[in-house]
Chains A and B, each alone.
Chain A
Amino acid sequence: GQQLNQSPQSMFIQEGEDVSMNCTSSSIFNTWLWYKQDPGEGPVLLIALYKAGELTSNGRLTAQFGITRKDSFLNISASIPSDVGIYFCAGILAGKSTFGDGTTLTVKP
């Protein structure tokens, strides 16, 4: 089956620093999605990417759909304490989703 490698597994950063995480796969996807999940809550969609090469921003968040359709990255600029949580990437192909294992972000004030 399809697998996503998401890295890093965890990050500990100071408030104000920029963050970068990525997902890679041996398979192609038609859509890349990035989610943030807080403890006890469902994943909340941050950014959706639909075309290879697409670069999309949502406030301090920027994500790109890799040209090969096998990878995507998410950047967070000027991190703040409420950015703490687990970030998941997901690739979609033929209506089926594959999730990365998540990046746990800790932001120190």
Chain B
Amino acid sequence: DTEVTQTPKHLVMGMTNKKSLKCEQHMGHRAMYWYKQKAKKPPELMFVYSYEKLSINESVPSRFSPECPNSSLLNLHLHALQPEDSALYLCASRPQGQPGNTIYFGEGSWLTVV
């Protein structure tokens, strides 16, 4: 089982709304990621959590706030977003240690900011 589950699949929110994207994996992976992807572009790394601690923040604006409540869950809290933040948001996970450097993606959450 290499499943990463993301909800919701689609989200439309206004610029003053607060919403959250959720991600779940039960593969025992201890690294989890958030990526942002625009159409026909590669995924852009936003955040990396390793053992439930934030290890990489790629200078993401504070209107995006990640949270890792436990080893299976990863959230992305959204507040005061801009229309240019509309994109596919991908969650991914990775087992730690060699040869486990394989990143598994969820199906993504399509976010539209109006």
Contact = CB atoms under 8 A, between A and B. Distances in A.
Interface of A: 30-31, 33, 35, 40-45, 48, 50, 86, 88, 90, 92, 95-97, 99-102, 104
B107 interface: yes
Contacts of A31: 99, 101-102
B90 interface: yes
A97 B46 CA distance: 11
B106 A88 contact: no
Contacts of A96: 45, 48, 56
B43 A99 contact: yes
Given A88-B43, A95-B50, 12 more contacts: A35-B105, A41-B107, A42-B90, A50-B99, A92-B101, A92-B103, A95-B48, A97-B43, A99-B42, A99-B43, A102-B40, A102-B42
17 contacts: A30-B98, A31-B102, A35-B105, A42-B6, A42-B90, A42-B105, A43-B90, A48-B101, A95-B31, A95-B48, A95-B50, A95-B56, A96-B45, A96-B56, A99-B42, A102-B40, A104-B40
B108 interface: yes
Contact of A44 (B48, B94, B105): B105
B84 to A, nearest CB: 20
B101 A50 contact: yes
B40 A33 contact: no
A96 B94 CA distance: 11
A45 B104 contact: yes
Interface residues of B, number: 28
Contacts of B45: 96-97
A24 to B, nearest CB: 15
B64 interface: no
A35 B90 CA distance: 14
Contacts of A42: 4, 6, 88, 90, 105-108
A33 B56 contact: no
Given A31-B101, A33-B102, A42-B106, A86 B40 contact: yes
A100 B42 contact: yes
